[in-house]
Homo-oligomer: A and B are copies of this chain.
Amino acid sequence: MNTSTTIESGPWAGWRTWPEDKFESGTGPFYMKRDEAGRVVCRFIAEPRHMNGGGFMHGGCFMTFADFACFAIAEEQTEGPSVTVNLSGDFLSAAKVGDTMEATGEITRAGGRLIYVRGLITANEKPALSFTSVITRLSKRP
């Protein structure tokens, strides 16, 4: 089971992450919390290790953060193990070292088994990736 942890001190105090997820911990870590309006916000700071050979953020880094964000956004609906069925991203503009990467989004539909999410990643508040995802619960919701 994937359990989140709240960071207790430092610049990310109050944000949560999934520490048991080795790929996310190694790529990120990425952080999530609910803002005052109850909206899920995900964030990390772009570093040199996130860049491609051209010096801009790698598409795979964008998609990893998007996948993280989809589960963060869908979290209150997944209620147990769930996996990605489809993940799609439209690359709107580039991101570079030092940019504050932020993902927000919404559940467009939570059915008995499938959960649909869409969202937007910004780099220093400029739209950078538009993403959609379909997630499936591994067991149907009671």
Contact = CB atoms under 8 A, between A and B. Distances in A.
Interface in A32-49: 48-49
The bracket for how many chain A residues form the interface is: 35 or more
Interface string A12-31: 00000010111110110000
Interface in A43-102: 48-54, 56-61, 63-68, 81, 83-94
A113 B140 CA distance: 12
A128 B86 CA distance: 12
Interface of A: 1-3, 18, 20-24, 26-27, 48-54, 56-61, 63-68, 81, 83-94, 108-109, 111, 113-114, 116, 118, 120, 127, 130, 132, 134, 136
